[in-house]
Structure 1
């Protein structure tokens, strides 16, 4: 499934409810946060203060399910494989369609996703183990605090990809070109320095083995807002399920800064 509109159609029909890593690989994917308008201003400031994990691709008008800047036919209520519904900071459901929950005051935020730079990494000849194994990328909560805005605060969440040293250097060069989808890594090497105790036990996604001749390479992750939502405890919120992204009509190369 390589065409964005086709993949969204399959998702909309309920025929795909898994992670989107490797799907429509030429296209930009986005993390999603949907909040009532009363909390939207604080969350917008949170994203602006934490651009590494929260690079904004689009913000909707209240009540607008369409995102014309990202795709002509996008319906945010149906076009993610799986959603998470939060009430007062507690996860209460993981539906595949949120049409019945939609409200006129809801504002959608779409945040850049590291899946978008994976194509550039692979085109540079770098092998990504989770893609080869058909897994979701491994994600970890760290001891690094994000900058608060109103009630929104919490730890930085990162993705991890194991790479040999030379490949890690090349990955820094490649992903630096994509600041709108997290850019260069935030850490390379010893995971304990950023508060991660066990790479075999990710907080989200699937574990992948790190070989003895490899380094774990960590990028900021758009699941970070979910940790902030747990802290802020808004009365109602919807997010993507980790790894289950919105696939847009934008092409990854459109986001390259040089």
Structure 2
């Protein structure tokens, strides 16, 4: 049986709408979403069986900086209020399928794995506030270098909930020393997409031994800049692994769900 070829990437993905980006992903385009649909907020995805959904909801409530909730679906539903007509099973570039805390597959379409009792959680993503950083003249190194932002598993524990516990994951952006205060001020206005940094400076303060070896994403040039660390929604994936959850469906790190919500809607 023949299959249609995946669509070509657009010339400037930053100019796309959320709906336009999702249509490409649903048609089979696999790419990271860094710099895509710059006017739209992006979100982390994790879906779990209803039996685990209360623990995950409580976990997010107890760890709001790492897991700021934007939406929670009804059991079995792939629809979200964040994007009219979207299907959470098909409208991301790539998904991870987890069983007993291990990634067993990465797929372009999660429909075959989406049980009738799955509850999906959409969690704020720090890619959302990068437009505001750029508008203020704060450089974003991974955008300059055309890679996914580096993410690290830290030695900071999260506050557990029921069967769920695990370490905090952070994303890192190098910031010139004279602009660190501005970066903190700007991102503090976006609490629904992780808000202000959790750490500034020496990565050893988070138990990170080597910035050149991120656990997720890609290494970037730090140079003489200050490494600045924000809580990251990939924390939920570290928790799935640490808690050996029976089943979960998540996005592949760096391949996010793009909403229809303007990023400015999350600025306070």
Pick the TM interval, shorter chain. over 0.9
Preserved CA contact (<8 Å) 1:112 1:182? yes
Question: Where in structure 1 are there 5+ consecutive unaligned residues?
Answer: none
Question: Where in structure 2 are there 5+ consecutive unaligned residues?
Answer: 1-12
For residues 234 and 161 of structure 1, the distance between their equivalents in structure 2, rounded to whole angstroms, comes to 30
Preserved CA contact (<8 Å) 1:89 1:232? yes
Partner residue, 2:87: 75
1:246 and 2:257 correspond: yes
Partner residue, 1:93: 105
SS at match of 2:37: coil
1:3 and 2:17 correspond: yes
For residues 5 and 107 of structure 1, the distance between their equivalents in structure 2, rounded to whole angstroms, comes to 22
For residues 90 and 139 of structure 1, the distance between their equivalents in structure 2, rounded to whole angstroms, comes to 19
RMSD of aligned Cα (Å): 0.7
For residues 149 and 18 of structure 1, the distance between their equivalents in structure 2, rounded to whole angstroms, comes to 33
The superposition leaves residues 170-204 of structure 1 with CA deviations (integer Å, 9 ceiling, x where unpaired) of 10000000000000000010000110000000000
For residues 163 and 82 of structure 2, the distance between their equivalents in structure 1, rounded to whole angstroms, comes to 28
For residues 223 and 88 of structure 2, the distance between their equivalents in structure 1, rounded to whole angstroms, comes to 39
Partner residue, 1:47: 60
2:205 to 193, 197, 211: 193
For residues 215 and 163 of structure 2, the distance between their equivalents in structure 1, rounded to whole angstroms, comes to 23
Partner residue, 1:115: 127
Preserved CA contact (<8 Å) 1:151 1:231? no
**Consecutive aligned runs of 4 or more in structure 1 exceeding 6 Å deviation:** none
Partner residue, 1:221: 232
Partner residue, 2:248: 237
For residues 123 and 236 of structure 1, the distance between their equivalents in structure 2, rounded to whole angstroms, comes to 40
SS at match of 2:107: coil
Matches within 5 A, 1:8-23: 8-15=22-29, 17-23=30-36
2:218 to 206, 216, 233: 206
SS at match of 1:94: strand
Partner residue, 1:256: 267
